[in-house]
Amino acid sequence: MSFDERAVLIAGASAGIGLEVARAFARHGADLALAARGAERLEAVAAELRTFGGRVEVIPTDVADPAACLALVSAAVERLGRLDVLVNNAGLHHRGPFGDHDPLAYAAMVDVNLRAPIVLTAAALPHLRATGGSVVNVGSLAGCLPLPEAAVYSATKAGLRTLSLALAGGLEGVRVSVVSPGPVATAFILDDLDSVGDITLAQPMSTPGDIAALVLACAADGRPERQQPRSSGLLAGLGATLPSLRRVLGPLMERRGRRVKERLRRAARER
């Protein structure tokens, strides 16, 4: 797999999964445009990734703002001269029972997790068509199986998954994929352990590198969806179609998730 002289724009590139995606593309020869809100962290990432030899452009952006999304795509194409891959990875999660948060916090989740990928993909489309490029969206298994303790997050990720699969079947000249992970060991989950749903933690935890490898595989072959771990993807699909199975397995998985949570809390205390 080579991305030599390919131009890749990554939204949410300064930490966690996006950082590993950026590292993986850099190792495979790509030129990069890196976006996130925090400029300082992005600059540090760029300094690291320039040692791989490709161009690395830093474009601080809050993708919650649609006008900023348009400016991001324009700046990436202007600076790199082309666009081959767009990775929509920036994501936001306000956890807990529905109603625990300010209504505007839910609106912000929709803005970052769903509206931004739609706007970025639409803005990138002519540039991706020119190169026969691809879009890879980072979804979630929560988008395959609705989670009651993460209703809005689930809804945004289900929307992103549906968008991806719809475009994968019908967009001429551009491939579109979605990578749907279960829990991944990043600050997104580890810094917010108390409010992470027990059932989420019952799934095997992946590394950001696992997910980055799937993002690159999708960019290379355009497969519409990759789930990680595959066993959890299968279970999520079954749970979504067979609510009775979910009623039986749910309490067992929650018990397992509580044990994992306790283990993670202990590990954090010992660090």
Residues 9 and 72: beta-carbon distance below 8 Å: yes
Binding span for ligand NAP by CB under 6 A among 74-82, 90-98, 168-176, 258-266: 90-98
Q: How far is the CB of 7 from ligand NAP (least distance, A)?
A: 19
From CA 93, how far away is CA 105, in angstroms rounded?
9
Q: Is 186 in the site for ligand NAP (CB under 6 A)?
A: yes
| Residues 24-83 close enough to bind ligand NAP by CB under 6 A | 35-38, 41, 61-64
> Which residues neighbour 150 within 8 Å (Cβ) at sequence distance 6 or greater?
93, 95, 142, 197, 200
Q: Which is nearer to ligand NAP, 63 or 85 (CB)?
A: 63
How many Cβ atoms sit within 10 Å of the Cβ of residue 170? 8
The stretch near ligand NAP (CB under 6 A) out of 95-103, 161-169, 186-194, 231-239 is 186-194
So which residues are the catalytic ones? 153
Rounded Cα distance between 43 and 48, Å, is 9
Closer of 28 and 161 to ligand NAP (Cβ): 161
Cβ nearer to ligand NAP, comparing 134 with 200: 200
Is the distance from CB of 227 to CB of 180 less than 8 angstroms? yes
Q: Which of residues 194-253 bind ligand NAP (CB under 6 A)?
A: none
Does 14 sit near ligand NAP (CB under 6 A)? yes
86 has which bridge partners?
A: 9, 135
Please say whether the beta carbons of 84 and 131 come within 8 A: yes
Contact positions vs ligand NAP (CB under 6 A)? 11-18, 35-38, 41, 61-64, 89-92, 112, 138, 140, 181, 183-184, 186-189
